[in-house]
Structures are given as structure tokens and as C-alpha cells.
């Protein structure tokens, strides 16, 4: 037997059930979760709670920022290990297409990616009908100037300063992200069938005579592949280790810097520089973090003062109006 129902039945939860049947309903279960009876906390923002928050943030952040800023600016003494950096200006490593122009599978030693690089590497994917290793714009533009530091003696004699080229890359990059192609053959054989990047002078398996610092695990190459966020940046080039506690790493005197110029910067109107720096408990010299803390703390403190004045003014006006009425 057919049974009719109207729209009102549908709104109320459906047609009436036949005699002896179970009633159907869309009503939620009578539980604390479905009936929204769970305990909740809703903060009420008042002048008494907001203003102390702004003042506390200001009082905490401003001293921290000043401490970090002063510590960063005091990194001038040539004691302990000294880090040699090269710096570039007006070089946008953060460009979207530049950052994507690499093949992480190839850099991790995947044989299939070695011979068939990702299309993201275009137009530095293949050259002379051979796959480029390492492919991409980042690798193709690798910094390749050579820096040598000498101490000038009394008779104008030049004493070379030992520059350590290992230990400059992040441990995770050196041991996890970057791998040479697997195998026991010489490195040149493992890169067989590939060609060097267009702007490179030597292939990747000739970057260093040390087997532990050659190919994709060359630390100069690894440091360059970690792209910078800003157009003016510095990258670690060498480490000058302290010999003993009795003598400074770089004693006062005259020094001679020899630069083998290979990396042109005129095409992008850039500049190159060399930096010698030590480190502190917060790392290398970087005033940005201290400035950020001082700025945020100052803004919070200023907002606290403004809101305090506004609250005091309007609260007095409200009290006056109540008395007049």
C-alpha cells in the first residue's frame, strides 16, 4: 500500500512510521558533544587584561633585543676559530624558478635521476645531448672564485694561512641530502654518460682530490646549493682553526688576500666581498634578530601606553556622564 507524505513531514523529520515500526528522526543524539554542552572558556578582553600583556611583552622583548644586538655588534675580536665568508650583493637566489631549478633525487645519488634529470632543471637539463650533473640553474651559477690569505712578514715574506675546506657544510646536508652515485668504481666512472654544467670549468667529479670532498658531497657545492633568502648574503668559504690557547688565530699584523677572479658579477650589477668573523653563543654576526625583538617590544609598549590613555580618557568621560544624568 502506497503512503503519501507532505513537506511538513519532511521538515519535522520524515513521514510517520507505520504502526509497530521504529520512528526515524534527524534530531542529534542527546550528548554533551552533539548538543554543544561541553565546557568552554571564552576570554573577555578588558583593559585590565590587555594592557598588562602589552607592557609585559615590551619589557621582555626590548632587553632581549638589546642584548642580542650588542652581542652581535661585539663580534669583532679575532680570537678562537675564525670563519671566512664570501658575500654577494644583488643576487636573487630566492627567485621561484631559480629555487626550483634542481633535482634532489639526482643530488641524492639516484642513478635513474642522474641520467634522466627532472624537467625543473630546464634549460640546464641537458647539454650536447647528455644529461647535466648536477643539473639546474643553482648548480650552474656556483661561486668559483679562489681566496687565499697570507700573513706579511718583516721582510715582506708571505706566510700562507691554513684554510680548512671541510666542516663548512651542515651535517644533515653532507650526510643525508647529498650523495654520490652508489658503487665501488672510481667516481669518474659513476658519473659516466653525464656532462658538466655549462658554466663550470671542471666536471663534478674533479671538484677536489679528496674522495670524501668530491662530487655531490663537495662542501663548497653543498654550501652554494643552500639558497639564500635575501639578495645580499654571505656563505661560509673556509675555516681558520685556532692552533693553541696561547696565541690568537690571526695575530695583529699585515695580511695579503689573493683572489683568483673567476666569478663575474657585472651582468647583474652585483658586488663581491670577503668577511672574516668569529661566532658567539648566538652564532655569527646578524643584527636582524636583535632589531626584530627591539621593534616588536617597542611597538607593544607604545600600544600599551596609547590604549592606557584611551581607556583612562573614556572611562572618566563615562563617569562624568553618569553624574550629570
At 242-280, the pLDDT tens digits run 877 667 788 888 999 999 999 999 999 999 999 988 766
Q: Is 215 helix (H, G, I), strand (E, B) or coil?
A: helix
Long-range contacts of 302-310 (CB under 8 A, 24+ apart): 302/58, 303/54, 304/51, 304/54, 304/55, 304/58, 307/47, 307/50, 307/51, 307/54, 308/47, 308/51
> Pick from 226, 234, 235, 230: which is nearest to 104 by CA?
226
Contact (Cβ atoms closer than 8 angstroms) between residue 74 and residue 286: no
What is the predicted pLDDT for the residue at 12?
46
Which residue do the cell numbers 647535466 mark? 132
- Sign of the CA dihedral 284, 289, 294, 295? positive
Backbone angles phi, psi at 91, to 5 degrees: -115, 110
d(Cα 299, Cα 63) in Å, to the nearest integer? 14
- Grid cell, residue 29, equals 543524539
Contact (Cβ atoms closer than 8 angstroms) between residue 130 and residue 97: no
What is the predicted pLDDT for the residue at 11?
44
Backbone angles phi, psi at 149, to 5 degrees: -120, 135
CA atoms within 13 A on the CB side of 121: 27
d(Cα 57, Cα 304) in Å, to the nearest integer? 10
Residue spans of beta strands (DSSP E) within the chain: 82-89, 126-127, 130-131, 146-152, 158-160, 233-240, 254-260, 271-277
pTM: 0.68
What is the predicted pLDDT for the residue at 318?
64
What is the predicted pLDDT for the residue at 125?
96
What is the predicted pLDDT for the residue at 225?
97
The total number of residues written for the chain in this structure: 325
d(Cα 276, Cα 223) in Å, to the nearest integer? 17
The list of the chain residues with pLDDT below 50 reads: 1-3, 5, 7-13, 77-79, 323-325
Q: What number of H helices and E strands is found in the chain?
A: 10, 8
> Pick from 239, 257, 270, 256: which is nearest to 143 by CA?
270
What is the predicted pLDDT for the residue at 292?
85
How many other C-beta atoms are found inside a 10 Å radius of the C-beta of residue 13? 12
Q: Is 89 helix (H, G, I), strand (E, B) or coil?
A: strand
Backbone angles phi, psi at 260, to 5 degrees: -90, 110
DSSP code for 74: T
d(Cα 242, Cα 79) in Å, to the nearest integer? 8
How many other C-beta atoms are found inside a 10 Å radius of the C-beta of residue 230? 11
Q: How far apart are the first and last CA of the chain?
A: 75
- Grid cell, residue 164, equals 680548512
d(Cα 185, Cα 65) in Å, to the nearest integer? 54
d(Cα 92, Cα 270) in Å, to the nearest integer? 10
Amino acid at each position: 500500500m502506497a503512503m503519501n507524505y507532505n513537506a511538513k513531514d519532511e521538515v519535522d523529520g520524515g513521514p510517520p512510521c507505520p504502526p509497530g515500526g521504529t520512528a526515524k528522526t534527524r534530531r542529534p543524539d542527546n550528548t554533551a558533544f552533539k548538543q554543544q554542552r561541553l565546557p568552554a572558556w571564552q576570554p573577555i578582553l578588558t583593559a585590565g587584561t590587555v594592557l598588562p600583556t602589552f607592557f609585559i611583552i615590551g619589557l621582555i622583548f626590548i632587553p632581549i633585543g638589546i642584548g642580542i644586538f650588542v652581542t652581535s655588534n661585539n663580534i669583532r675580536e679575532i680570537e678562537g676559530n675564525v670563519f671566512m665568508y664570501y658575500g654577494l650583493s644583488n643576487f636573487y637566489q630566492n627567485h621561484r624558478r631559480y629555487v626550483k631549478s634542481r633535482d634532489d633525487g639526482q643530488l641524492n645519488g639516484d642513478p635513474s635521476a642522474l641520467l634522466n634529470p627532472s624537467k625543473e632543471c630546464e634549460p640546464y637539463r641537458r647539454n650536447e645531448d647528455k644529461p647535466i650533473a648536477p643539473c639546474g640553474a643553482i648548480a650552474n651559477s656556483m661561486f668559483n672564485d679562489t681566496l687565499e690569505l697570507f700573513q706579511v712578514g718583516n721582510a715582506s715574506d708571505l706566510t700562507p694561512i691554513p684554510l680548512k675546506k671541510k666542516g663548512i657544510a651542515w651535517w644533515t646536508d653532507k650526510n643525508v641530502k647529498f650523495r654520490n652515485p652508489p658503487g665501488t668504481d672510481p667516481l669518474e666512472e659513476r658519473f659516466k654518460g653525464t656532462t658538466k654544467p655549462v658554466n663550470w670549468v671542471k666536471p663534478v667529479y674533479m671538484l677536489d682530490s679528496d674522495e670524501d670532498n668530491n662530487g655531490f658531497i663537495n662542501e663548497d657545492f653543498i654550501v652554494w646549493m643552500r639558497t639564500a633568502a635575501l639578495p645580499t648574503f654571505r656563505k661560509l668559504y673556509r675555516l681558520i682553526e685556532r692552533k693553541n690557547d696561547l696565541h690568537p688565530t690571526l695575530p695583529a699584523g699585515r695580511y695579503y688576500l689573493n683572489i683568483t677572479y673567476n666569478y663575474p658579477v657585472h651582468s647583474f650589477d652585483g658586488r663581491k666581498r670577503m668577511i672574516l668573523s668569529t661566532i658567539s653563543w648566538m652564532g655569527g654576526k646578524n643584527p636582524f634578530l636583535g632589531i626584530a625583538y627591539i621593534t616588536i617590544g617597542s611597538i607593544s609598549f607604545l600600544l600599551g601606553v596609547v590604549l592606557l590613555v584611551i581607556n583612562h580618557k573614556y572611562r572618566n568621560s563615562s563617569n562624568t556622564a553618569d553624574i550629570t544624568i
